[in-house]
Structure 1
């Protein structure tokens, strides 16, 4: 057994040691054992980092705990497959799990369910590590299911009615996507005769199968399989309209949400990356993912802006960010989606843990949060405005020249790549627009901050595009094929680019008018629409009420069918 194999087996077991260490022993020594339980998680992170180095230098490792020839299909096919993607995810999960566990030792120490809660943190870390290192679809689906059960248990305070209802909603809504996920596994096995990732991807590329879904409607095998699996990814990663479980789960302790928003909710992006070659065979599924991700990003961000609760604001922020992640997968930028989920996971875990501190202080001190003071009148700075305006308008040209010339990214042949680079423009413009609100600071400092922000965003995105993509997907031909498969129709591409350009220019015009004490003329119907949209987004588009009515209708129909069936038996 090689060192890489030993590490792949040992790393998931260390969180189990931490979980069991908290449960055994007398309650009087629980605090001491809880503090000792963090060390297996620290060891898991250290060994995961070492495993990443070994996998990057020596190649992927596959471990099977069964003999397919002897037991055929009668046993659950268990095994690990650790490649660069799995190793990167294991480092992220073990790091976030260690931080959250250590934070919870102090944050939850007075809670009656202290031991159970810390133990579940360890078990969740174990499940996540096993999921990202699974060697086949069935094993991945098994741990995918266990995550749903753990999410319900981590609600923790089941004596609280709203918490209990949120846990039940989370568990039941996730089942909708899991049914489609399981159907996709069955269909994949029936078409290609395997559930092992490596064999499945090879056979799907070699067998261009076609299915007849309805009379006159044909669909390729990869499209049918990936669409079903994508529905599962939608539910776990809270994509509209399957996002309703996430706001309902916000009554759980903040360490739960740090782990949820930093690890569990990224499962959809990981699944699409694990099966990236299969998704690359289906432009239809990639286009669907792009539309769903874009819609989720827009609606999630809009609903976030209208919430007045700190945890709901962060929750809808995560929904929007997961929309970006799925949208990036839909553009064929799979490595960028992984880079995004890593950055978002570390950021959102930190934010939620600090959110717990804020809530704790607000409960202890009535003066927190402090009363807001009226903002000073904005002072117009021609230097700041001009710097931001010029940099955001000249940025597309700079990006195109650098990417097409120095990095040699094939922009002419890939709309997906152009839209990916467009993200740089949108992100940096958003950050620069925010900097214009700085008051009491010299204009030249604000302008310098804008330029530094511009350089930071550009080089970060270009690093993600070039280096991280080369690390996760060393074969450049595969990356080009993904972008080609995700290419959008020409007219749609032009409309998207034009609309985004218009929005950014109008944003600067609005900022200029507001800074000069002027107002842009807005039609009355647009003002009324603004109010209506605010109400709709504040009420989360009333989707909760729609799903509740649909649920009651289904229950009435089921009850009616039961009565008829019972009457016939009598």
Structure 2
């Protein structure tokens, strides 16, 4: 029964895509009557799958080979553990919502049936990716994901910017895929297998070293090289700096595609790191690099988000920052927290994009309708709200520590992993306080919402730290081992914590001075730097211009080389 459901879940969306593709002209705008029921049944099946995997353990399904003489690495199959099952629920759930939303949103659009066929095909590919039994099948689905995404992004093929952004996305993904393929080839060459369980066991048994050049004395760990190459592929898919340039330019696609892409497709990098967590857990160097790239992406993505004046591009850069946040969590060894973040981000970002579609649709029908505003009036200052926000922010670490130590018995001394969980809870609560502070409501209502948000965030993170972590990694000591491997140098970790703490306290001071009509002293060089930073982030750090220049020079060189070779061949 469970095996039948596991096979049926990916077959339902691909069957709907096949039927709509064959009979799309006859179905027309009734195509949703094929796609929606298929996704609803797949979602219901995924709920049963989570329960079955939790009780009976992972499911392994080997697909028959096309030839008896196929090489050892050419093996297709499904492997569904708790991680895959959770991802399948997220994918089928989000895809079902997008199918339902698109029924009315795309009415009257040319290619209505084509859209539903591609949507079913994309869902099938993502489901196969998260349930791949080995690196070979995962890479095949990784490639198919890029090509189907290209077709979805170029849905409005009569609109040149949409086609250009789709092609740009495909090229950036190819850059990451070259490194990904190199990592897979090196893996098979050194360990002789691409099956996950065998690969993890062989990599853990022997510490293989690779010389940086033939005959050289300098060598590095093979696991480090492999995981870094695979991480480049994850960087491209999850829009990590500097391979982020494709994501902000994909806003000319229909809003349901944006919702699916930002809620599911860009999460592929975070899933890849979790699927290969036992391999990444063997290389502290790679985890430190992952942390640094993720932290840089968070800072740059959030900064570029703040200077956007387009609602979808704002959400796009927000996704970039959130993906950096997720990758940073993996770099700290908090793999389960990254999946928890992935699920939460997927749900609320899909909702935000679909709502943005409603706003854009309404503004097109009512172009003279003014946006809701307060006429440029200053934010009403409430001392009670400010005191509550500051007090909750500063007291939250103590509350979390007492709850974690006294109730959940989480060891905090010399446990960097536990501190990471608690610190993320504090930062998240602080962000919530800053957002709630700006509400145009009576102060007592804002205070109540702040306290409610505090309770929810503390409960969520403590539950995530204690329950969700050991749901995904139930083996004793596994999650703790990842934290130990990824642990930063004690002094560096303390400096990062102190800097973020100082930044949060400074932010509350700035809010107080501005809201109360006072001026905060800033050095002259900071005031002069602000407009320059605004231009820098508005122009996306000029990374796009740099890539365009490099690509044009390569094309120009290729044309000159082709011309010279053509002249050389003439008799």
Q: Which TM-score tier does this pair reach, normalised by the shorter chain? A: over 0.9
Where does 1:187-202 land on structure 2 (aligned, <5 Å)? 187-202=186-201
Range with greater deviation from structure 2 (25-34 or 498-507): 25-34
- 1:111 Cα deviation from its structure 2 partner: 1.2
The residue number in structure 2 matching 1:385 is 386
The residue number in structure 2 matching 1:276 is 277
- 1:216 Cα deviation from its structure 2 partner: 4.4
The residue number in structure 2 matching 1:476 is 476
What TM-score comes out, normalization by structure 1 length?
Answer: 0.96
Distance 1:195 1:88, change over 3 A: same
The residue number in structure 2 matching 1:132 is 130
The residue number in structure 2 matching 1:533 is 533
- 1:221 Cα deviation from its structure 2 partner: 1.6
Q: Secondary structure at the match of 2:495?
A: helix
The residue number in structure 2 matching 1:217 is 218
- 1:27 Cα deviation from its structure 2 partner: 3.1
Asked if 2 retains the 8 angstrom alpha-carbon contact of 1:431 and 1:453, the reply is yes
State the Cα RMSD in Å.
Answer: 1.9
The residue number in structure 1 matching 2:358 is 357
Distance 1:336 1:294, change over 3 A: same
Q: Secondary structure at the match of 2:210?
A: strand
Structure 2, unmatched stretches of 5+, are none
The residue number in structure 1 matching 2:413 is 412
Q: Alpha-carbon deviations, 1:423-460, whole Å to 9, x = none?
A: 1111111211222223340x333222221111111111
Distance 1:566 1:401, change over 3 A: farther
Q: Secondary structure at the match of 1:38?
A: helix
Q: Alpha-carbon deviations, 1:372-398, whole Å to 9, x = none?
A: 332444443332222221211121222
The residue number in structure 1 matching 2:156 is 157
Asked if 1 retains the 8 angstrom alpha-carbon contact of 2:57 and 2:81, the reply is yes
Distance 2:234 2:285 in 1: 16
Distance 1:34 1:440, change over 3 A: closer
Q: Alpha-carbon deviations, 1:513-557, whole Å to 9, x = none?
A: 223210111111101111111111111111110110111122233
Kindly tell me the number of residue pairs found equivalent between the two proteins.
Answer: 567
The residue number in structure 2 matching 1:520 is 520
- 1:283 Cα deviation from its structure 2 partner: 0.5
Distance 1:526 1:238 in 2: 30
Distance 1:386 1:256 in 2: 43
Range with greater deviation from structure 2 (89-98 or 552-561): 552-561
Asked if 1 retains the 8 angstrom alpha-carbon contact of 2:27 and 2:113, the reply is no
Distance 2:190 2:156 in 1: 45
Is 1:62 the counterpart of 2:57? The answer is: no
Distance 2:424 2:326 in 1: 12
Asked if 2 retains the 8 angstrom alpha-carbon contact of 1:413 and 1:484, the reply is no
- 1:204 Cα deviation from its structure 2 partner: 0.8
What TM-score comes out, normalization by structure 2 length?
Answer: 0.96
Structure 1, unmatched stretches of 5+, are none
- 1:6 Cα deviation from its structure 2 partner: 1.4
Distance 2:412 2:469 in 1: 16
Q: Alpha-carbon deviations, 1:147-194, whole Å to 9, x = none?
A: 111111112011211111111101111100000000010011111110
Asked if 1 retains the 8 angstrom alpha-carbon contact of 2:263 and 2:350, the reply is yes
The residue number in structure 1 matching 2:332 is 331
